Chain A
Amino acid sequence: QKEVEQNSGPLSVPEGAIASLNCTYSDRGSQSFFWYRQYSGKSPELIMFIYSNGDKEDGRFTAQLNKASQYVSLLIRDSQPSDSATYLCAVRGEYGNKLVFGAGTILRVKS
């Protein structure tokens, strides 16, 4: 079992819709969770982070964490073509010394 798992996609949504990206992790002691956006040929850019159970909202982005289910998600409201990218989920484990990444989900927003 991979430490951090994501559906590779591509996930296709129409412009203006809500995109829902999901991630599961295996280390029950994980402490912090991150979502990065990566455009083709570029480096990852941090867009959201969450440490506690529940929801965290920042503009059009909402991160949701459920530690009991070992599940973290990212919702993008009013999706725009510029949101088309690969979204990487990353989890910092119980001892906090390294960040483990999922393989990423490709998101395509169609205008």
Chain B
Amino acid sequence: DGGITQSPKYLFRKEGQNVTLSCEQNLNHDAMYWYRQDPGQGLRLIYYSQIVNDFQKGDIAEGYSVSREKKESFPLTVTSAQKNPTAFYLCASSLTNEKLFFGSGTQLSVL
């Protein structure tokens, strides 16, 4: 089945710890995105990548980092510099400038 796989579904972070959220797609999409959603709010763009080995900051990139070494994979690292990381994280992919398809999300909480 084609789709976008995010893991883990739930993740807990200790203070001062970096954590990495996985996102893999087998849709052969060029573009991949990371969004953050806080309760009762819309989606805010963290980072996006339109091609392998290239990515751009979104609206709230501070405290996050990404890599795009393979077309299929776009992992997101939440660093210790992100002081309020508790949120629902959504990965998405698309053909260039087309509609987005989302993974099932990762709920990140702070211990």
Let me know if B105 and A49 touch, CB within 8 A: no
Query: Is the CB of B11 closer than 8 A to any CB of chain A?
Result: no
Contacting pair B90 A44 (CB below 8 A): yes
What total of chain B residues lie within 8 Å of the partner, measured CB to CB? Answer: 22
* A13 at the binding interface (Cβ < 8 Å): no
B63-111 CB contacts (< 8 Å) to partner A: 90, 96-97, 99-105
Within 8 A of A (CB), among B1-58: 33, 35, 40-45, 48, 50, 56, 58
A101: interface (CB < 8 Å): yes
Residues of A within 8 A of B35 (CB): 101
A25 at the interface (CB under 8 A from B): no
Min distance, Cβ B39 to any Cβ of chain A, angstroms? 10
| B41-A34 in contact (CB<8A) | no
Interface centre among A4, A49, A96 (most CB of B within 10 A): A96
* Cβ-defined contact, B50 with A97, below 8 A: yes
Q: Are B33 and A99 neighbours in the complex by a CB distance under 8 Å?
A: yes
Interface membership of A60, Cβ < 8 A:
no
* Complex CA distance for A44 and B99, rounded to whole angstroms: 12
Q: How far is the CB of B40 from the nearest CB of chain A, in Å?
A: 8
Contact B97–A46 (Cβ < 8 Å): no
Q: Is the CB of B43 within 8 A of A97?
A: no
State whether A104 touches B42 (Cβ < 8 A): yes
Bound: A92/B50 CA distance, A: 14
Contact of B97 among A45, A92, A100 (CB under 8 A): A92
Minimum CB–CB distance from A34 to chain B (whole Å) comes to 6
B31 nearest CB neighbor, chain A only: A97
* B residues neighboring A (CB under 8 Å): 33, 35, 40-45, 48, 50, 56, 58, 90, 96-97, 99-105
